[in-house]
C-alpha cells in the first residue's frame, strides 16, 4: 500500500535541546517508517519574526539538520529540505492568499503566538520592530502552503496545536469549493502525546531562557546542567522523606530517560529518605549521557563532513522541487492561470 504524505517543519533556531528531542524528533523518527515524510527547515518562517537578525541563520539551519540526522532522521526514508529551496511553495502561498479571507488569518492563534515572540525578542525599544509585518500576517497561509504543496494527508500536532491546523483545512476546503475540485486533501492532525520536559529551572525549556540542555552539549556540560535541575523543594536533607511527584524536573527526566526499574528504585529510595538529591542527579546525568553518547558521536561525524549535510539538503531540495513542480502545474491548470 502506498504510504500517505506527512509534512512537518521546524524553525532554524540553532542547536536543538531536549524539549525538541522529546517533543518532536523521537516522534519524527517513528513516523518516517509509516509515512512518506517531508521534513523542512522553515527559514522563511524564521524571517517573519527575525527578518533583522539573520547573521547566524545559515549556521542555525545547519545545526538544526545536524541534530535531526544525529537523532535518526534518515534522508533515505524522508525528504529533508530547506523551505526556501522550494520556490513553488512561495508560488502556492500567493495563490492561496487570493482565496483566504483576511479575518481568517487575523484570528489564527499561530499569529498571536508569533506576535508574542516578536515582542519578547525585541530589545531595541523601537515601535517599528514590534509592528506586525505583511509577511507575518501571511504566516498561516505560508504554513498552509507548506502543507498543501505536498498534499499532506496528515500533520503531526500536539493537542494544544490542533487549532493551528484548522486554518489549513479551511483553506484547502475553500480552494476546492471555489475551483470545483477535490485536488487538495484536508490534512488531518496526527495527534501525539508530547512529553513535556521542562527546563532545569522548572520553566518552559528554551534557548533564550538559558535553562535548556542541548542534544549537542558535551558530557561535562550536561552533567553540570542536570545538577541545576529543580527537585522536591520541601526536602532539605537526604533523610527527609521525598516526594518524587513533586520533584518537578529531576524525577520527570528520570521518567523520560531511565528504564522502569531504575525509576521505581529512585521513587522508593526517595520516599524512604534513603537517597540524596545531589547523588540522585549525578546518577541522572550519567544515564542521560549514556543515552546521548551514540547520538552525539553521530552528530560529530556529520559535523566533520559538513559538505555531506549540505549534499543531503541539496538532494532533498531537488526531490521536493520535483514533486512540488508536478503539483503546482496541476494547481495552475485548476485555476486556469
In the complex, what is the shortest distance from the CB of residue 228 to ligand SF4, in angstroms, rounded to a whole number? 12
> 123 is written with which cell numbers?
530589545
Distance CA 145, CA 93 (A): 5
242 binds ligand SF4 (CB under 6 A): yes
In the complex, what is the shortest distance from the CB of residue 234 to ligand SF4, in angstroms, rounded to a whole number? 9
Nearer to ligand SF4, 181 or 265 (CB): 265
Per CB under 6 A, contacts with ligand SF4 among 258-277 are: 266, 270, 275, 277
In the complex, what is the shortest distance from the CB of residue 272 to ligand SF4, in angstroms, rounded to a whole number? 10
Among 235, 295, 299, 328, binds ligand SF4 (CB under 6 A): 235
DSSP 183-196: -S--PEEEE-----
Give the binding range for ligand SF4 (CB under 6 A) out of 104-112, 151-159, 193-201, 239-247.
239-247
Give the binding range for ligand SF4 (CB under 6 A) out of 46-54, 119-127, 175-183, 229-237.
229-237
The helix/strand/coil state of 36 is strand
Among 21, 35, 251, 257, binds ligand SF4 (CB under 6 A): 251
Among 27, 168, 231, 252, binds ligand SF4 (CB under 6 A): 231
Give the binding range for ligand SF4 (CB under 6 A) out of 137-145, 189-197, 205-213, 231-239.
231-239
Nearer to ligand SF4, 93 or 235 (CB): 235
The helix/strand/coil state of 40 is strand
Nearer to ligand SF4, 129 or 265 (CB): 265
244 binds ligand SF4 (CB under 6 A): yes
Are 204 and 228 contacting, i.e. CB atoms less than 8 angstroms apart?
no
Which H or E run contains 157? strand 154-157
> 26 is written with which cell numbers?
523521537
DSSP 269-336: HHHTT---HHHHHHHHHHHHHHHHHHHHHHHHHHHHTHHHHHHHHHHHHHHHHHHHHHHHHHHHHHHT
Sheet with 188-191: strands ordered across: 79-82, 36-41, 5-10, 154-157, 188-191
198 binds ligand SF4 (CB under 6 A): no
Nearer to ligand SF4, 258 or 309 (CB): 258
Kindly give, in sequence order, each residue whose CB lies less than 8 Å from that of residue 218, ignoring residues fewer than 6 positions away.
296
DSSP 267-288: HHHHHTT---HHHHHHHHHHHH
Among 247, 258, 295, 324, binds ligand SF4 (CB under 6 A): 247
Distance CA 285, CA 279 (A): 10
The neighbour count for residue 186, using CB atoms within 10 Å, is 15
Nearer to ligand SF4, 205 or 266 (CB): 266
288 binds ligand SF4 (CB under 6 A): no
19 binds ligand SF4 (CB under 6 A): no
In the complex, what is the shortest distance from the CB of residue 283 to ligand SF4, in angstroms, rounded to a whole number? 9
In the complex, what is the shortest distance from the CB of residue 258 to ligand SF4, in angstroms, rounded to a whole number? 11
Are 8 and 48 contacting, i.e. CB atoms less than 8 angstroms apart?
no
Buried b (16+ CB within 10 A) or exposed e, 138-151: bbbbbbbbbbbbbb
Site size toward ligand SF4 (CB under 6 A) is 14
In the complex, what is the shortest distance from the CB of residue 266 to ligand SF4, in angstroms, rounded to a whole number? 5
> Which residues are at the interface with ligand SF4 (CB under 6 A)?
231-232, 235, 242, 244, 247, 250-251, 266, 270, 275, 277, 280-281
Amino acid at each position: 500500500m502506498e504510504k500517505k504524505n506527512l509534512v512537518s517543519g521546524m524553525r532554524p533556531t540553532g542547536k536543538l535541546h531536549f524539549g525538541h528531542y522529546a517533543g518532536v524528533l523521537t516522534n519524527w523518527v517513528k513516523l518516517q517508517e509509516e509515512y512518506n515524510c517531508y521534513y523542512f527547515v522553515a527559514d522563511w518562517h524564521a524571517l517573519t519574526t527575525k527578518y533583522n537578525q539573520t547573521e547566524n541563520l545559515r549556521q542555525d539551519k545547519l545545526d538544526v539538520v545536524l541534530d535531526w540526522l544525529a537523532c535518526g532522521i534518515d534522508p533515505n526514508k524522508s525528504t529533508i529540505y530547506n523551505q526556501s529551496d522550494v520556490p513553488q511553495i512561495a508560488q502556492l502561498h500567493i495563490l492561496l492568499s487570493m482565496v483566504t479571507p483576511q479575518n481568517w488569518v487575523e484570528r489564527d492563534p499561530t499569529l498571536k503566538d508569533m506576535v508574542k515572540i516578536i515582542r519578547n525578542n525585541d530589545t531595541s525599544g523601537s515601535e517599528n520592530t514590534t509592528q506586525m509585518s505583511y509577511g507575518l500576517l501571511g504566516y498561516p497561509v505560508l504554513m498552509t502552503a507548506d502543507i498543501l504543496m505536498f498534499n499532506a494527508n496528515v500533520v503531526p500536532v500536539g493537542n494544544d496545536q490542533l487549532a493551528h491546523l484548522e486554518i489549513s483545512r479551511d483553506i484547502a476546503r475553500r480552494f476546492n469549493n471555489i475551483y470545483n475540485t477535490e485536488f487538495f486533501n484536508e490534512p488531518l492532525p496526527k495527534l501525539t502525546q508530547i512529553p513535556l520536559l521542562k527546563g532545569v529551572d522548572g520553566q518552559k525549556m528554551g534557548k533564550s531562557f538559558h535553562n535548556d540542555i542541548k542534544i549537542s552539549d558535551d558530557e561535562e556540560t550536561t552533567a553540570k546542567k542536570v545538577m541545576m535541575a529543580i527537585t522536591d523543594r520541601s526536602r532539605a536533607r537526604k533523610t527527609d522523606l521525598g516526594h518524587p511527584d513533586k520533584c518537578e524536573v529531576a524525577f520527570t527526566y528520570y521518567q523520560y530517560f531511565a528504564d522502569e526499574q531504575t525509576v521505581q528504585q529512585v521513587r522508593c529510595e526517595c520516599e524512604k529518605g534513603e537517597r540524596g538529591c545531589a547523588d540522585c542527579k549525578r546518577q541522572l546525568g550519567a544515564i542521560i549521557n549514556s543515552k546521548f553518547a551514540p547520538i552525539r558521536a553521530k552528530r560529530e561525524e556529520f559535523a566533520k563532513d559538513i559538505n555531506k549535510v549540505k549534499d543531503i539538503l541539496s538532494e532533498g531540495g531537488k526531490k521536493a522541487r520535483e514533486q512540488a513542480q508536478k503539483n503546482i502545474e496541476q494547481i495552475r491548470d485548476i485555476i486556469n492561470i
